[in-house]
Amino acid sequence: MYTQALNVKDEPTAAGDPVLEARFQAHVDAELKIEPNDWMPEGYRKTLTRQISQHAHSEIVGMLPEGNWITRAPTLRRKAALLAKVQDEGGHGLYLYSAAETLGTSREQMFEQLLSGKAKYSSIFNYPTLTWADIGAIGWLVDGAAIMNQIPLCRCSYGPYARAMIRICKEESFHQRQGYEIMMTLARGTPEQKAMAQDALNRWWWPSVMMFGPSDTESQHSDQTMRWKIKRFSNDDLRQKFIDATVPQGHFIGLEFPDKDLKFNQETQHWDFGEIDWTEFKRVIAGDGPCNKQRMKQRRAAHDNGRWVREAALAYAEKRRNREAAAKIAAE
């Protein structure tokens, strides 16, 4: 679900072959796709590998805050839906790892980068899911923000990434709708339930708005990725689009946004909003959010506890191969 524009500098473009580079750029400018074995500038490969693998890590880490509520979902319907959603996130992670692998980095290397803390993932998953309403807020806001970010990526110049994103976007819309339905049900329930929905919105609104990454005035890496047609819209444009779409949805179910500066601007036809706390964003990205340590601990434990399964599957496959080979010899 969740790509995030992280504030990382462009990879320096090593002085490559100007003829190949010009041909590559012309290909991209003509809206043609770049495929795995095509020639590409090293910077393009590095930027995409980083972006796609971080996106994959976000999907995988994103299973944790929601998985936290599977056993405590209020009804069987909600439980089945949440289970399916978390399973989808796992699937999305796998599509994305596959896409990143086509650029020449192995899955094991990417896991290692995540587990050692070298690779980043979306800051949003370092916030805790304290109540059931948080599951509604995540689906509605976090997946909503992710969809805004991801739709333009379906047209990304790199073929495998674009194809993975098309699949992901198709599956994502159920996620947002199930989240909004949870919020709507709570907002129309008892006063306590409505308060729970409001509290979840209060806590998730700003982190969701931050998912679009630093403001364009701060962001250092938009130009090159735009030229390469990896990115199509600026962080601020996407953020505004998200706010414009989401605010009326919240008002429709009688909830208030935790931003006293939020008001509709008749002139621009957009919602004006208050100042974003970028120090919080930077802190969470840097590893000091409410749940960073817990998330990484859980991921490492899952990886370590799964080691015997990976080893056993390999040993079993080898045993079967040996047996088949022996049977073949015996038959001759």
Partner 1 sequence: MTEQKTEPHWPLWEVFIRSKNGLSHRHAGSLHATDATMALQAARDVYTRRGEGHSIWVVPSNAITASDPTDKDVMFEPSESKIYRHPTFYDIPDEVGHM
What are the residues binding partner 1 (CB under 8 A)?
A: 35, 37-39, 84, 87-88, 91, 94-95, 98, 101, 106-108, 111-112, 115-116, 163-164, 171, 307, 310-311, 313-314, 316-317, 320-321
The least distance separating partner 1 from the CB of residue 20, rounded to whole angstroms, comes to: 11
| CB nearer to partner 1: pick between 8 and 83 | 83
The least distance separating partner 1 from the CB of residue 208, rounded to whole angstroms, comes to: 26
| Beta-bridge partners for 264 | 271
Instruction: In whole angstroms, give the CA distance from residue 92 to residue 151.
Output: 14
Amino acid identity, position 39: W
The least distance separating partner 1 from the CB of residue 232, rounded to whole angstroms, comes to: 23
| CB nearer to partner 1: pick between 97 and 273 | 97
H or E segment at 263?
A: strand 263-265
| CB nearer to partner 1: pick between 171 and 272 | 171
The least distance separating partner 1 from the CB of residue 87, rounded to whole angstroms, comes to: 7
What are the phi and psi torsion angles at 226 (to 5°)?
-70, -45
| Beta-bridge partners for 158 | 34
HSE-up (13 A, CA, CB side) for residue 56 = 26
| CB nearer to partner 1: pick between 94 and 151 | 94
Q: What angle do CA 277, 280, 285 make, to 5 degrees?
A: 130
Say if residue 205 is exposed, middle or buried (CB neighbours under 10 Å; 0-12, 13-18, 19+). buried
With left for phi above 0 and alpha for psi between -120 and 50, is residue 33 left, alpha or beta? beta
| CB nearer to partner 1: pick between 176 and 235 | 176
| CB nearer to partner 1: pick between 72 and 170 | 170
Reading the block at residue 147, the tokens are 């969809």
The least distance separating partner 1 from the CB of residue 99, rounded to whole angstroms, comes to: 8
DSSP conformational letter for 114 = H
The least distance separating partner 1 from the CB of residue 94, rounded to whole angstroms, comes to: 5
